[in-house]
Amino acid sequence: MAFVHSRSRVITPQAFRAAMPLDTHWGRRLSCAQAECAAYANPTGWRTWAEPGSSEEGVIRQHIKRRGWRHAEEQEGGRIVFIFPGGTPCFQDGRHRAQLEREANLAHIDKESRRVTPMARQSWHDRWAEHLDRLSRLRGE
């Protein structure tokens, strides 16, 4: 399956992937304070919402009860808004991860042959730029 332009040039569908798998590119779990979590660090606190009676509401209430979090609740447009003061850990507390200093796994994917070719960073960037340039020229941009 190839795209044919009116000038009889053929462009094979391609994709470019940059992956950072959790098991190889991310380190130990961090608390909100260690991760400098934006919700935790916000002096005005953070908010989340749920539909009344939903499973999300139940999960939020379980977290509040289990962790003893102070909070306020408001009704807004038929939703329950849970408001937590600054310094309250978010729901990812203890599950934030530190990114390890590793390059992303870069690959070029030929969608026609389904061949995945791992690439070095510069080669990947060059090939991606060439592909975008080729598409731009074919569109007459």
Number of domains in the chain: 1
Domain contains 75: no
Domain contains 11: yes
Domain contains 31: no
Domain contains 85: no
Domain contains 123: yes
Q: How many CB atoms lie within 10 A of CB 102?
A: 11
**Separation CA 48–CA 66 (nearest Å):** 17
| pLDDT in the model for residue 105 | 87
What is the span of the domain harbouring residue 108?
1-20+102-141
| pLDDT in the model for residue 59 | 95
Mean pLDDT computed over every residue of the chain: 86
Q: How many CB atoms lie within 10 A of CB 24?
A: 10
What pTM was estimated for this model as a whole?
Answer: 0.56
Domain contains 9: yes
- What length is written for the chain? 141
Mean pLDDT value of segment 61-79: 94
Domain contains 36: no
Domain contains 81: no
- CA-CA distances (angstroms) from residue 50 to 62, 76, 79, 81, 83? 13, 10, 6, 7, 12
Q: Which residues contact 11 (CB under 8 A, 6 or more apart)?
A: 2, 3, 5, 134, 135, 138
Q: 8-55 pLDDT, tens per residue? A: 456 667 888 888 887 788 888 889 999 899 999 999 999 999 999 999
Mean pLDDT value of segment 59-67: 94
